A and B are shown apart, each in its own frame.
Chain A
Amino acid sequence: MHISEYHDHDIVIMGAGLAGLSAALTMAEKHPTIKVAVLSKVHPLRSHSGAAQGGVNAAVALDDRWQDHYYDTVKGGWFLGDQDAVEILTRQAPEAVYALDRWGAKFNRSADGAFAQRPFGGQRRNRTCYVADKTGHAMLNTLYEQCIKQGVQFYNEWYVFSLIVDKGALLGFLGCQVGSGAIGYFACRAGLVATGGAGRVYGQSSNALINTGDGMSLCLRAGAQLKDIEFFQIHPTGLPNGILITEGARGEGATLVNATGERFMQRYAPEFMELAPRDLVSRAIQTEINEGRGLADGCVRLDLTHLGEKRINERLSQIRDISINFAGVDPVHEPIPVRPTVHYTMGGIDVNTDCATKINGLYAAGEAACVSVHGANRLGGNSLLETIVFGRRAAETMPTYLTDHQTPDRVREQTLLTETMEQFTTLFDREGEEHTPTLRRQMEETMVADFGLFREEKRMRAGLDRIENLAARFAKVRVRDRNLVFNLDLIRTLELRAMLDIARACAMASLPRAESRGSHYRLDFPNLDNHNFLKHSLIARSPAGGLTLSYRDVTIVDTKPLNEIKY
């Protein structure tokens, strides 16, 4: 196997979801002379951003203030969010939604024709702008349309399997064109990784099958760090097969009831009830199920029947379809079976507020990155927001980087490419008795059992051992499909390699955090410990594959962390 295509761009963007597209679009509009390429392993419109349902937060109402959105976000993240980053997120939120309007997104309006806003978890007032319950789908299409208008250069169905980095600087991206099997190298002077989350390490989840943490793994292997990777959000309301039922349903007034018909959130979050932050609601639901108050199918019920058909059709039409198609239940007439489902990766590639990693020229944005704005738990509506705010921000900081820096030293580029191709050929040609789907399922089972909603030392220790063992067995996986054209076996094997990196990192970061904060909840340490753990975990990888853990303090600007979080 050899590299048959060489491409040269100023900036390469890996990932064409909302963060990647908003960066590409903003650069095309404001810096048209910079040569940009967008690489995506699926057609951009297939990106998982399109599955986001509920809405995007912004303090646009005349009687709202970004400072209130800021505080709600900082508290919602259990004070693990960096306050300078949260200020950027919330202060620039109005501009982000107005930009989407300019670009053509068709937000719901209130009677006076201005943006309608619905209530969402963990926020003290309505500030979630929405497009029915298809906000992600609408935004993704809008950004893609405008990218077409601006002539953005797309390379679709390219699977990037390595970053090329030398002397602490990014040189380029090496990948495989899935449809033809051709290997191509994309040299660049700066790159943005916007590859989304890694929820598929848990198997069943709200995430698409493509959310395997590819970019996180590549950046880790290239010398960047993963921050707060122990924090995976488990969304309260997924269908039994994992598909999401948006928080927007609860925002419209849907209630959660157990087998006895009790609205049980009264006991867990008496003030915010169903709109308490997600980690709280998920643990409440799982506790009800664990203590025998779930229904026979192992779920509780999300009741929309009192909302009426008209309101459901206007604002929640997609989840009506989803519930009918995937659970056989019409929410107009019957409550929906729901249980917690793995949903979002708060942790990710360690970046600063300029989206920069510690590798020169390497940037990251969106769910793949961890700035951190979400801390230990993300509020609904803030992820769609993050993609636009930080995608646009990267589109400013990266051009500045290009102006301030020489092109990287490429003297070792060919050598590194040759070495990487040798490793890739070895992976493709090696014999072995291990089977990708088998290892994948065992990883998923371990993550669900040992790194889920309720964690504790013994289980996590055993889980870490099991995952390390799986990672060792990966060296003996054989790729059985020998045809390079649309080779799902090869792609899934590479995705498993990425997922094992993330699983190992998550396990390693989770064990020492002897407290409960946000989505990291421990039966053996159920209390918040700001004295010892108001800090971010950082995982780094040595070239030999060993992981090391270190910590960095949270940036506090003006908001003193609470020692107890109540809703």
Chain B
Amino acid sequence: MKVRLDIFRQKTAGGDSYRQVFEIEARPGMVILDAFHAIQEELDPTFAYRYSCRGAICGSCAVRVNGAATLACKTQLLPLAEKETIVVDPLANLAVVKDLICEFAPFWEAYDKVQPFLVREKEQHDQKLTWEDTMTAPQLDQLDRSIDCIKCAACFSDCPKRAADPNFIGPAASVQLYKFFFDPRDSSQAWRAGFAGAPGGVVDCDSHANCVKVCPKDVRPLRAINFIRKELGEVSDDRAEHPPCCPHPPPWVRR
């Protein structure tokens, strides 16, 4: 079956953008990323996009499809093509370098800002490597989804708060903060609380819940943000548990 994709093109950073429509033959099971390969290999060798694992774990291939951020490698072509032409754009909230490739530096800057690593007391860190910390099941459960984030920037792209306020660190960085804020082995709680509660931090979130909608790994960033807000004594929003619309999470509910 023939499938049409209407794709954003741009030759260089800051250059003029235009759109190009490609028509390709689609087999059942083909995903958007397969379409990109077909275009680059057979139709236009200058077409550029990021990719690596094609299995939804590396986070390289996030793009916007029909207006919403998603991973190209796990978005099926045929169900979309039944309606009409598929519209593909680069992620929002990041400057375009070429075609569907964005400059990720602002995303990584937000990540770096939250002290995105475990901080242990020096004596703890330098102990002989002959034992592990014990951790209990509730402690591990608390951290569960936060380790799933693949830094694809789908949430960052579709976050209206980030679009309005480039100082806001965004959902993924908030999850990274959460990951250590609730880790019993971390000794930097006071700093993290201070950062989260300051302008640009987690408290800036306006609870749009787009992040929950678009996350391809069901990380639910707003839920993590709300846990942090509760710890800080901020008013929390219960929309995280019952977001308005969640096409992406799998058909079953964990816990």
Contacts and interface: CB of A to CB of B under 8 A. Distances in A.
Interface of A: 42-43, 45-48, 50-51, 60, 94-95, 97-99, 101-104, 106-109, 111-115, 131, 134, 137-138, 141-142, 145-146, 148-149, 179, 208-210, 241, 243-244, 309, 313, 317-318, 320-322, 324-326, 330, 332, 437, 480-481, 483, 485-489
B191 interface: no
Contacts of A111: 137
SS class of chain B's interface: helix, strand, loop or mixed?
loop
Interface string B124-163: 1101011111111100100100011011000000000000
Interface stretch (B41-49, B198-206, B235-243): B41-49
B108 to A, nearest CB: 8
| A-B CB proximity, top 9 nearest | A113-B134, A104-B118, A145-B117, A437-B41, A98-B129, A149-B117, A480-B45, A486-B48, A95-B129
B151 A45 contact: yes
B164 interface: no
Contact of B134 (A114, A243, A324, A481): A114
A101 B147 contact: no
Interface string B215-255: 00100000000000000000000000000000000111011
Contacts of A43: 60, 104
Nearest to B149: A141
A46 B58 contact: yes
Contacts of B42: 437
Nearest to B130: A98
A43 B57 CA distance: 13
A210 to B, nearest CB: 5
B22 interface: no
Nearest to A441: B41
A97 B132 contact: yes
Contact of A141 (B55, B147, B255): B147
B182 to A, nearest CB: 11
Contact of B46 (A108, A243, A322, A489): A489
Nearest to A147: B117
B132 A98 contact: yes
B1 interface: no
Contacts of A322: 55-56
Contacts of A309: 252
Interface of B: 11-13, 29, 40-42, 45-60, 74, 97-99, 101, 103-104, 112, 116-120, 124-125, 127, 129-137, 140, 143, 147-148, 150-151, 180, 183, 185, 217, 250-252, 254-255
B133 A485 contact: no
B132 A145 contact: no
A109 B135 contact: yes
A46 B52 contact: yes
Contacts of A98: 129-132
A527 to B, nearest CB: 37
B52 A210 contact: yes
Contacts of A131: 147
B54 A486 contact: no
B131 to A, nearest CB: 7
Given A104-B185, A488-B45, 10 more contacts: A50-B150, A102-B129, A106-B147, A108-B140, A109-B140, A113-B135, A134-B148, A146-B118, A210-B52, A487-B48
Given A48-B58, A51-B57, A94-B130, A106 B140 contact: yes
19 contacts: A45-B151, A46-B52, A46-B59, A48-B53, A51-B55, A94-B129, A94-B130, A104-B118, A106-B140, A109-B135, A109-B140, A137-B147, A146-B117, A148-B112, A148-B117, A322-B55, A326-B56, A437-B41, A489-B46
Contact of A102 (B57, B125, B140, B251): B125
Nearest to A99: B129
A145 B112 CA distance: 9
A102 B120 contact: yes
B254 A313 contact: yes
Contacts of A313: 254-255
Contacts of B49: 488
Contact of B183 (A104, A241, A320): A104
